[in-house]
Structure 1
Amino acid sequence: MTHARFTTLAVSGSYDHAEAARHLGSLSEPAHLATAQSFPSMEAMLAATAEDGDGWVYARRGNPTVRLLEQTVAALEGYRVDAEVSAALTATGMGAITLATMPLLSAAAGPKPNIVASPQCYGSTTMVFDKRYGEERDVDVRWVGDPLSVEDWAGLVDDGTRFLYAEVPSNPTVQLVDIPALAALARQARIPLIVDATLATPALLRPLALGADVVVHSLTKAAGASGRSMGGAVIARHGLGLRGQPEELSADYAGHLRRGSLRDMGAVLSPFNAWTILADIRELRGRVDTMSRTAHGVAEYLARHPGVVEVFYPGLESHRSHHIARRDMWLVDSELDGGEAENRFGFLVCFRPAGGVRAAHEVMDRLGLVWRANNLGQVRSTATIPGATTHKQAADADPARAPVPPDMVRLSIGIEHLDDIVGDLDQALRGR
């Protein structure tokens, strides 16, 4: 299936006719819900334990259903990437971020480690970097002043820098960074550029194709849009050639994590969750296309509304990183549909209603169709106030560096009709 189109890879992954024949012809991937495998002989057991065979031994070390999703995620994120790509799956998106970053911070790898990162990222990511790494492990966390300035990034990189980190687009301000330029900076320093591309999904943006080394995703979001399961993914190109890191880690980063850190620390993905996400991810392109087109319409409506003072959406010319979004965010394979390639800018729209925090709370309370919830990327549209919920910990820890305005409403647009979403927002903003 290596030459198949994106949607075909999403539907089929590595589950082909031969694989189905090994499972009594099941048209759907089987859910291997057992925690361990039985072996026909001691020789087979030893081979699997030594990872010389295809056995999975014990669910913490691997599972056939999890591996099917792993291969599918790697194929989608590695689509049209001129490199070998592999993936490791975790129980949550934050598990993926921790798995992707922690092994790079070994004290044995050289000078005191530091991280150079965009401050425009998810609140829990900020807490992991500042608290778990900075305060608890004495890692120097260097937040970039202006994530759009490559010079600002370069000025913070030195011999102790272990990786560059950015979220594209960011949650919730939907900012982008110049991935190719940061990738060149990372290559020069022989460190990885790690990109959280959860809000784009590989249907709209594949950072590996733009030069990034490692990509992380929360599969809980648009990949698992039914909202039934949590999961995370680390996807990396092979042959990174990292300074001060073990050769086996550079050779196959995700595989090394899967065989070492993930196995030992145990934050593995449940096979049941893998099975449900496999069902959701089949329709990723079409679903994200619909959600993005609707989100663009919502953003344009909000930008015209007299009761809204600011809108955050990369598809609007007023957005600070619109020029990068126009360059990098494309509906995958849209040029094959009989026309030119088409931009899509994602499903997250944020806005500030006139009247401050109190008005934002009142708008939230008047929502009818849109659900008040702290998740995003679902088939149902959801809304929250990040400064009081998803980013509250980060804001409380450092009020001077609050990541989002306290009156910002975050909308995650689902697959409902645009007219109905706009109608709900209109009545919520007008108060009737």
Structure 2
Amino acid sequence: MENQNDTAITPGMQEYINQSDRIRAERTNYINSEVKKWRFDTIAVHGLYSVQDALNFHQGAIIEPAFLSSSQAYRDSDEMAAALAYKIPTWCYSRIANPSTYYYEWTLALLEGYGFSGETSCCSTSSGMSAIFSAVTPFLTVKRRDEPINFVATAQCYGGTFQQFTVRLMKERQIECRWVVDATDIDEWASKIDGNTRFLYGELPSNPQLGFFDIAQVADLAHSHELPLIVDSTIATPALLRPLCHGADIVVQSATKSLTSSGFGICGAVISRKPITANLEEAALRDDFAFNIKLLQNRDLGPNLHPMQAILTLNDIRTLRSKMDLMSRNTMQVAKFLQDHPKVERVEYLGLKNHKLHELASKYMWLVDAEHDELYQKPVNRYGHLMSFCVAGGIEPARRFFDSLQRIWRATDLGRIKSVATIPAISTHQQQGEEARKMAHVPGNMVRLCVGAEHPDDIIADLDQALHKA
């Protein structure tokens, strides 16, 4: 992971370094004196892109420009040498950094760190899957061939995550993933940890089962073993849940989903607190994890985010809080309808008071800044736009229902402004097999539904007519 270079610092390079230090000090002061005093919505709209940036560097553009150039030119050899030695900020090559991804990264770092007293940083990635791989890879270095390293993860997780851990890590690299079946049981977590465990990993709310666990409790357990807790918080987004505030060290986002609700592309992010708790030899990785995997690991592996996608996602993020509020309220109405429907076996939605994890989820899932919202003026729980339900009668009725949907889109997507449904057993979780689906509580008659911003009456009407054909 170390950046190997033996570049001697010339007087010209030192001048560039001094200029860079002044700019970074100004940025830090701006964040601490201005940005961190803003409400969530203001950060989502502006991020770190200021009027001064626009006037000084970007022709006064109100919206962050999309920098489609693959590389940056330098004034002279001293500036190039300082940049490529990472002594000064640089856009040397878009595989490593780009002005558009810079603003994307800072917006997510600030949003995930909203309410967190410490500092955060972010590494953009080309997808949610590359975010997961980027986050776990630094902990999986095998120093000896006979070293049997392992990590602990929740069995209730996205099918792609299961495949990455089971096939790419366990089968191909002989790195053991120890699955936690009941993530609410802290003793089960503890029983999986030994001297060769490298990190703890959890997804919440999980896709599609709506699994949940006590973040602070699991973080404390991880830290007692000098291990980091990595959390996939894609479904909640920082509008409803910010795991770093509860002790998690690293958050991964498939920004493809709720953060890019328009559905205009694929992207991801790794956001970390500074420093993380980890038994790592490289002090720089502990001190600023996301920044270091961006400049070193991902420079070499290449899971970079396209600058145009960074701008498209930034545009969607600006209204994140209001969209998550609206879609959460819509989903609650739909869940209440489904739980009373005779053709529905059971409903998994954390907002339902009779859900076994409702109380635990209510401890953590809050609409950010609701107490400062004129509409609410008090803290308000919100549970997101993802739910699942099992159609009564088994697999064939579930498929008849699914095939009869007219307004709701049949797709493997989620987090859209439009409502989307899928059957996980034949789509997102197909490849992991029946036994693994059983462990993860994904039966064949389960339908995953992501409710969008349509009027809930229209979604309910479509569900009702399709259920009558099941």
Could you state the TM-score of these two structures normalised by the residue count of structure 2? 0.90
Structure 1 residues 336, 190: CA separation in 2 closer, same or farther (over 3 Å shift)?
same
Match of residue 391 from structure 1: 429
SS at match of 1:315: coil
Distance (Å, rounded) in 1 between the aligned partners of 2:94 and 2:213: 38
The answer to whether the 8 Å contact 2:158/2:429 transfers is yes
Distance (Å, rounded) in 1 between the aligned partners of 2:457 and 2:182: 37
Structure 1 residues 400, 72: CA separation in 2 closer, same or farther (over 3 Å shift)?
closer
Instruction: Say if 2:121 is the partner of 1:86.
Output: yes
Instruction: Say if 2:326 is the partner of 1:290.
Output: yes
The answer to whether the 8 Å contact 2:151/2:177 transfers is yes
Match of residue 73 from structure 2: 38
Match of residue 166 from structure 1: 202
Instruction: Say if 2:440 is the partner of 1:406.
Output: no
* Residues 293-304 of structure 1 mapped to structure 2, 5 A cutoff: 293-304=329-340
The answer to whether the 8 Å contact 2:181/2:439 transfers is no
Match of residue 138 from structure 2: 103
Instruction: Say if 2:379 is the partner of 1:341.
Output: yes
The answer to whether the 8 Å contact 2:255/2:269 transfers is yes
Match of residue 398 from structure 2: 360
The letter of the residue matching 1:220 is: T
Distance (Å, rounded) in 1 between the aligned partners of 2:129 and 2:322: 26
Runs of 4+ displaced beyond 4 Å: 396-400
The answer to whether the 8 Å contact 2:425/2:437 transfers is no
Q: Which of 10, 20, 24 matches 2:54?
A: 20
The superposition leaves residues 311-330 of structure 1 with CA deviations (integer Å, 9 ceiling, x where unpaired) of 01001123221111111000
Distance (Å, rounded) in 2 between the aligned partners of 1:371 and 1:205: 27
Q: Which of 341, 350, 354 matches 2:388?
A: 350
Q: Paired residues, what number?
A: 432
Superposed displacement of residue 340, structure 1: 1.4
SS at match of 2:431: helix
Match of residue 209 from structure 1: 245
Q: Which of 343, 346, 355 matches 1:310?
A: 346
The farther-off stretch of 104-113 and 350-359 is 104-113
Distance (Å, rounded) in 2 between the aligned partners of 1:417 and 1:241: 44
Distance (Å, rounded) in 2 between the aligned partners of 1:46 and 1:380: 49
Structure 1 residues 399, 303: CA separation in 2 closer, same or farther (over 3 Å shift)?
closer
Superposed displacement of residue 49, structure 1: 1.1
Match of residue 361 from structure 2: 325
Match of residue 176 from structure 2: 140
Superposed displacement of residue 195, structure 1: 0.4
The superposition leaves residues 21-56 of structure 1 with CA deviations (integer Å, 9 ceiling, x where unpaired) of 121111110000111111122222112112222321
Match of residue 118 from structure 1: 154
The superposition leaves residues 91-116 of structure 1 with CA deviations (integer Å, 9 ceiling, x where unpaired) of 00000000000110111299521111
Distance (Å, rounded) in 2 between the aligned partners of 1:418 and 1:402: 29
Distance (Å, rounded) in 1 between the aligned partners of 2:391 and 2:334: 14
Q: Which of 37, 49, 56 matches 1:3?
A: 37
Structure 2, unaligned runs of 5 or more: 1-34
* Residues 126-275 of structure 1 mapped to structure 2, 5 A cutoff: 126-275=162-311
The letter of the residue matching 1:10 is: A
The superposition leaves residues 137-160 of structure 1 with CA deviations (integer Å, 9 ceiling, x where unpaired) of 111211113111001100111111
Distance (Å, rounded) in 2 between the aligned partners of 1:355 and 1:245: 55
Distance (Å, rounded) in 2 between the aligned partners of 1:124 and 1:397: 16
The letter of the residue matching 2:36 is: T
Could you state the TM-score of these two structures normalised by the residue count of structure 1? 0.98
Superposed displacement of residue 244, structure 1: 3.9
The answer to whether the 8 Å contact 1:241/1:247 transfers is no
Distance (Å, rounded) in 2 between the aligned partners of 1:400 and 1:415: 32
The letter of the residue matching 1:428 is: A
SS at match of 1:169: coil
Match of residue 14 from structure 2: none
Superposed displacement of residue 370, structure 1: 0.5
Superposed displacement of residue 399, structure 1: 6.0
Distance (Å, rounded) in 1 between the aligned partners of 2:88 and 2:280: 31
SS at match of 1:19: helix
Superposed displacement of residue 398, structure 1: 4.2
Distance (Å, rounded) in 2 between the aligned partners of 1:118 and 1:53: 40
Structure 1, unaligned runs of 5 or more: none
The answer to whether the 8 Å contact 2:156/2:440 transfers is no
Structure 1 residues 352, 335: CA separation in 2 closer, same or farther (over 3 Å shift)?
same
Match of residue 73 from structure 1: 108
SS at match of 2:37: coil
The superposition leaves residues 60-118 of structure 1 with CA deviations (integer Å, 9 ceiling, x where unpaired) of 11000001000000000000111110010100000000000011011129952111111
The letter of the residue matching 1:416 is: E
Superposed displacement of residue 59, structure 1: 0.7
The superposition leaves residues 283-305 of structure 1 with CA deviations (integer Å, 9 ceiling, x where unpaired) of 11011110000001100000011
SS at match of 1:175: coil
C-alpha RMSD of the superposition: 1.4
